[in-house]
Chain A
């Protein structure tokens, strides 16, 4: 199975800050990497697929980069509605696996 390691596990930030979350795969997944946002009591929402493809309706302040084993999700200017938990997920092979999550909360 492909292990996904996400860091940090939590980050405290202020509105307007730039936030970067990293995700590392235990083996090469080329660009088969997705990012999700989850708010309390809700199902996850797909933000980015194939490493860098922003889903329809997702603000352009979200961006994704990387390839192979190392990937990054960046929120360029944090907004109040962005406080949530973020997960990466590899889509290269089954079983699909997720990173442990990064909680973004208010400093």
Chain B
């Protein structure tokens, strides 16, 4: 079964940092580009970052540029999102999703990041 599992979310104070992880199984992870997408409570979906299969192309949304770093370890079948200088508006469920078929598929179950003092 193709599966993505996120972890690393939690409660953090404004200005703090978190590192999210996404572990893949059931497919050749090293052959696929990956993404992070977030969803604020009760809101819609916002794409925030992309990393190509070989890491030669990395992209960020303007809303997080300069504060987050995406990376991956193909040997470990894992992707990461290092988040720094967190703000209240970063509070969201963070999903990892594989680039496939001109869409994103599959998605993980998400990990909740809450930024609050």
A residues sitting closer than 8 Å to B (CB atoms) are 32, 34, 36, 42-46, 48-50, 53, 55, 87, 89, 91, 94-101
Q: State whether the Cβ of B95 lies closer than 8 Å to any Cβ in chain A.
A: yes
Chain A positions within 8 Å of B88 at CB level: none
* A contact residues around B101 at 8 Å (CB): 46, 49-50, 53, 55
Contact A101 B104 (CB under 8 A): no
Cβ distance B3 to chain A, nearest Cβ, rounded Å: 11
Q: In the complex where A43-B108, A96-B35 touch, is A87 in contact with B103 (Cβ < 8 A)? A: no
Interface-located stretch among B10-18, B42-50, B66-74, B79-87: B42-50
B 73-114 contacts with A by CB, 8 A: 95, 97, 100-110
Question: Which chain A residues border B47 with CB–CB below 8 Å?
Answer: 94-98
Shortest C-beta distance, B49 to chain A (Å), equals 10
CA distance A55 to B104 in the complex (A): 11
User: Could you list 16 A-B pairs, sorted by A, with CB under 8 Å?
Assistant: A36-B104, A42-B109, A43-B95, A43-B97, A43-B106, A44-B95, A44-B104, A45-B105, A45-B107, A46-B103, A46-B107, A91-B102, A96-B35, A96-B47, A96-B104, A101-B45
- Interface size for B (C-beta < 8 A) is 23
A50-B102 contact given A94-B50, A95-B59, A95-B61, CB 8 Å threshold: yes
Q: How far is the CB of A74 from chain B (nearest CB, A)?
A: 18
Please measure, in the bound complex, the distance between the C-alpha atom of A5 and the C-alpha atom of B42, giving whole angstroms: 18
Q: Is the CB of A46 within 8 A of B46?
A: no
Measured CA separation A50–B37 after assembly (Å): 20
Contact partners of B59 in chain A: CB under 8 A: 94-95
Instruction: Convert B24-50 into 0s and 1s, putting 1 for each residue whose CB lies closer than 8 angstroms to a CB of A.
Output: 000000000001010000001111001
- Are B45 and A46 in contact, with the CB atoms below 8 A? no
Q: Looking at the complex, which one of A42, A50, A98 makes contact with B45 (CB distance below 8 Å)?
A: A98
Q: Is the CB of B106 within 8 A of A89?
A: no
- Do B104 and A34 touch across chains, with their CB atoms under 8 A apart? yes
Quote the shortest CB–CB distance from A51 to chain B (angstroms).
Answer: 9
CA gap between A100 and B46 in the complex, in Å: 10
Assembled-state Cα–Cα distance A96/B101 (Å) = 14
